Amino acid sequence: MIKYALACEQAHEFESWFPSSEAFEEQRKRGFVTCPFCNSTEVDKQIMAPSVARTDKLPAAQPEAQPMAVLTDKEQEIRAALRALREQVLKNSEDVGKNFVEEARKMHFGETEERSIHGEADFEEARALLEEGIDVLPIPVVPDDRN
Ligand SMILES: [Zn+2]
């Protein structure tokens, strides 16, 4: 037996038992299912909203993954070498900050004296400089140097 929540065309709501869903459909088509309030045969199953409380929890927010590495002694050496290179570059070149791209171009076109400079350029700017034949190098970022 199946209990159906039913409603007629006038939205009278009632419940009724049927041997099966097929039996319900058969009886409904034949007009045997009638509204107890108005005797209408225009009856259909109620559209039910889920009455069960949702218990499924949203997955906990995952912290954003960071690239990580476990370094061997050899890699520690490389990292130290990178840090030394970086320090040397920073120590022996003029910090032109955000004017880096402009200064690099000026030097390239002989508008200012040739010298070692370092400063800020985003990836696109650096690529543009390289395309113009201006040699720029990214200064290696050593993990410890972040933050
Ligand atoms: Zn009715």
pLDDT at 140: 73
pLDDT at 40: 94
Query: What is the Å distance from ligand 1's center to 25 Cα?
Result: 18
pLDDT at 55: 54
Contacts of 57-61 with CB under 8 Å at 24 or more apart are: none
pLDDT at 79: 82
pLDDT at 146: 53
Dmax over CA atoms of the chain, in Å, equals 100
Query: What is the Å distance from ligand 1's center to 5 Cα?
Result: 13
Query: What is the Å distance from ligand 1's center to 12 Cα?
Result: 5
**Tokens encoding 93:** 């070149």
Is the pTM of the predicted complex or chain greater than 0.75? no
Residues 43 and 28: their CA atoms lie apart, in Å, by: 7
Query: What is the Å distance from ligand 1's center to 4 Cα?
Result: 15
Q: What residues pack around ion ligand 1 (CB closer than 5 A)?
A: 8, 10, 12, 35, 37-38, 40
Query: What is the Å distance from ligand 1's center to 38 Cα?
Result: 4
Enumerate the β-bridge partners of residue 94.
Answer: 117
pLDDT at 59: 56
Residues 42 and 9: their CA atoms lie apart, in Å, by: 6
pLDDT at 96: 92
pLDDT at 98: 92
Query: What is the Å distance from ligand 1's center to 18 Cα?
Result: 19
What are the pLDDT tens digits along the chain (147 aa)? 889 999 999 999 999 999 998 999 999 999 999 999 999 999 999 866 555 555 555 555 556 666 676 777 887 888 888 888 888 888 888 999 999 999 999 999 999 988 889 999 888 898 899 899 988 888 777 766 554
